[in-house]
Amino acid sequence: MADNVKVPIIKLAKRESMDPKLIWAIRVGSIIFAFIIGMIPLLMAGANPFTSYGIIISGSLSKKLYIQQTVKRAIPLLGCALAIAPCFKMKFWNIGAEGQITMGAIFASAIAIWSGTAIPRPILILLMLIAGVIGGAIWGFIPGFFKAKFNTNETLFTLMMNYIAIGIVRYLQGGPWEGRPGTQIIPMFAKNARLPNLFGIYIGWVIVLIMVVLVHIYMNFTKQGYEVAVIGDSLNTARYAGMNVGWIMMRTMLISGGIAGCVGWMLVSGANGTLNSDVAGGVGFTSITVAWLSQLNCFAMILIASILAIIGKGSGTLQTRLNVPSSVAEIISGVLLFCMLGCEFFINYRMSINFKQMGTNIKYFFSFQWIHKSAKKEAK
């Protein structure tokens, strides 16, 4: 009888409420925990973890040039996180920001290449912006349309759209837009298609900061933002409230794609000055981490995008100085994501461990009775 009735060792119960201070303590604790775990791969790579963390910080923030490069990394991350925030709020898993950035970049580049030096700089840049937004919006709208009309799986759809967009750039690079034949490179844009600099960094950083405020307002204070939030919580409630769910989905994807397209425009017109197939360079995926870690809070995204940019930039320095592979940085980012998402579990649930039962189980294990028991079972 006693053998048959088992008591669970770990019990989980949903928490009713929690002190906000404790919530933040758990979150901060999880970040510290992540950096402690992050020491393992550093140790395995043969580096002193403390020196390594020091190098990551100094390599990204100690000189003006380093800071500029770090900010340059953070701009598309932040912009793209803003782009996917409304989708994720709606629980529409848009992992196609990569493609939407690329498409925006293609459209913007088309204007720059076709116009040459014919159009004055401000007008040309504005035209490129509009083209970029349209390009990204189209690429976002297509999966949104199919989801709304035919309930296709948006995750797969948006993922596949990425490869199409990148494929198009490869074609343009080697074909119609190729510079010197055989180079597979699109030449740098003329000066009047390039974004101006402010404090040594292209002006995109000002634009994304403005976008932070705009997206924040959109998500929290507009009717459309409200619709998106309701759909994200419950489709049935949205229908109950008389919302046109299909149209809202398509519209949100138009907006999301448009913002991503804008990021694509900044990358070709500001950061790179030309178009290549690696224009998005994984930003569309890394920004998912940014959006998730900041819990879709636009201002928190600034911080998270900065942290990831610092780790990314600093790890490059780490590689040159200590010969530690820069992919270690990606491992650390991954651990960070894991810990920060994992800590939400402890915020939502209370875990109680039945130590008495655990003791009984351990005793039972070391008494080796279970061997006899399983042997008996086999015999049966």
Partner 1 sequence: MQNNCAIELKDIRKTFGSVVANDGVNLQINKGEILCLLGENGSGKTTLMNMLSGIYQPDSGVILKDGVPISIRSPKDSFAYGIGMIHQHYHLVDVFTAAQNIVLGLDEKLDLAKVNDKVKEICDKYGFDVDPKMKIYDMSVSQKQTIEIVKTLYRGAEILILDEPTAVLTPQETDKLFAVLRNMKDDGKAIILITHKLAEVLDVSDKVAILRKGKYIGTVNTKESTAQSLTDMMVGHAVTLNIDRPLCENKKERLRLENVTVFDNEGVKKLDGVSFDMKTGEILGVAGVAGSGQKELLEAITGLYPIKEGSIKFIDDAGTEKELVGKTPRQIREIGVGMGFVPEDRLGMGLVGSMGMTNNMMLRSWKKGKSIFVNRKSPEELAKNVWKELDVVTPSTAFPVRRMSGGNIQKVLVGREIAASPPVLLTAYAVRGLDINTSYAIYNLLTEQKMNGAAVMYVGEELDVLLELCDRILVLCGGKVSGVVDARRITKEEIGFMMTTVGGKNGR
- Whole-number Å distance between alpha carbons of 172 and 186: 8
- Whole-number Å distance between alpha carbons of 337 and 346: 15
Supply the minimum distance, in Å, between the C-beta of residue 222 and partner 1. 5
- Whole-number Å distance between alpha carbons of 266 and 292: 23
Closer CB to partner 1, 1 or 118, in the complex:
1
Q: Is 328 in contact with 42 (CB distance < 8 Å)?
A: yes
Of 51, 197, 244, 369, the one binding partner 1 (CB under 8 A) is: 244
Q: Is 287 in contact with 80 (CB distance < 8 Å)?
A: yes
Closer CB to partner 1, 6 or 356, in the complex:
6
**Residue 353, helix vs strand vs coil:** strand
Closer CB to partner 1, 240 or 365, in the complex:
240
Contact flag: residue 360 with partner 1 (CB under 8 A): no
Site for partner 1 in 196-225 (CB under 8 A): 221-225
Bridge pairing between strands 10-14 and 201-202: unpaired
Q: Is 366 in contact with 349 (CB distance < 8 Å)?
A: no
Of 6, 350, 372, 373, the one binding partner 1 (CB under 8 A) is: 6
Residue 380, both tokens: 């049966």
- Whole-number Å distance between alpha carbons of 337 and 149: 34
Residue 270, both tokens: 């500001």
Site for partner 1 in 320-359 (CB under 8 A): none
Residue 188's closest CA among 199, 200, 180? 180
Q: Which stretch binds partner 1 (CB under 8 A): 2-10, 49-57, 114-122, 203-211?
A: 2-10
Q: Is 243 in contact with 227 (CB distance < 8 Å)?
A: yes
Closer CB to partner 1, 12 or 188, in the complex:
12
Of 239, 350, 363, 373, the one binding partner 1 (CB under 8 A) is: 239
Size of the site for partner 1 (CB under 8 A): 25
- Whole-number Å distance between alpha carbons of 136 and 80: 11
Of 240, 247, 349, 370, the one binding partner 1 (CB under 8 A) is: 240
Of 237, 327, 352, 367, the one binding partner 1 (CB under 8 A) is: 237
Supply the minimum distance, in Å, between the C-beta of residue 256 and partner 1. 18
Supply the minimum distance, in Å, between the C-beta of residue 236 and partner 1. 4
Q: Which stretch binds partner 1 (CB under 8 A): 42-50, 150-158, 165-173, 239-247?
A: 239-247
Chain residues binding partner 1 by CB under 8 A are: 1, 4-6, 16-17, 221-227, 229-230, 233-234, 236-237, 239-244
